[in-house]
Amino acid sequence: MAKVAEIAKIVAAPGKRDELLAVLREMVAQAETESGTEVYVFHADAGDDVTVWSYELYVDQAARDAHGASPAMVAIGPKVGPLLGGAPELIRLVPSSGKGVEI
């Protein structure tokens, strides 16, 4: 099976990015328990003070689905919602080559 990846652009409400990043750290703790999650990282955009980018890499679609259905992912929605400045933009990817991870 092919690995799957995802990039997300998450825009925080004005003045809420640090709070949003703190809540998203809870998802990093969840991802650390998932054997099918290989990379899970959030980035604060260096060009503005509201945007957060994420990159996720999974061993396959089943691992991505398991992450999305995890109790932690379900529970975080009500915490994240009030901190958002709009709906996250998700881009699904199929990795083809790279350094630092086995493709």
Tens-of-pLDDT digits for all 103 residues of the chain?
Answer: 699 999 999 999 999 999 999 999 999 999 999 999 999 999 999 999 999 999 999 999 999 999 999 998 899 999 999 999 999 999 999 999 999 988 8
Residue 48 lies in a domain: yes
Reading phi first (left if > 0) and then psi (alpha if -120 to 50, else beta), residue 86 is in: left
Looking at the structure of the chain, the number of domains it has is 1
Domain boundaries, position 77: 4-93
Residue 98 lies in a domain: no
Closest to 25 (Cα-Cα) out of 80, 78, 91, 68: 80
Residue 60 lies in a domain: yes
pTM as predicted: 0.91
Residue 103 lies in a domain: no
Question: Domain of 45: which CATH number?
Answer: 3.30.70.100
Closest to 45 (Cα-Cα) out of 53, 56, 57, 34: 53
- Give Rg (Cα) of the chain: 14
Is the distance from CB of 63 to CB of 34 less than 8 angstroms?
Answer: yes
Residue 10 lies in a domain: yes
Residue 102 lies in a domain: no
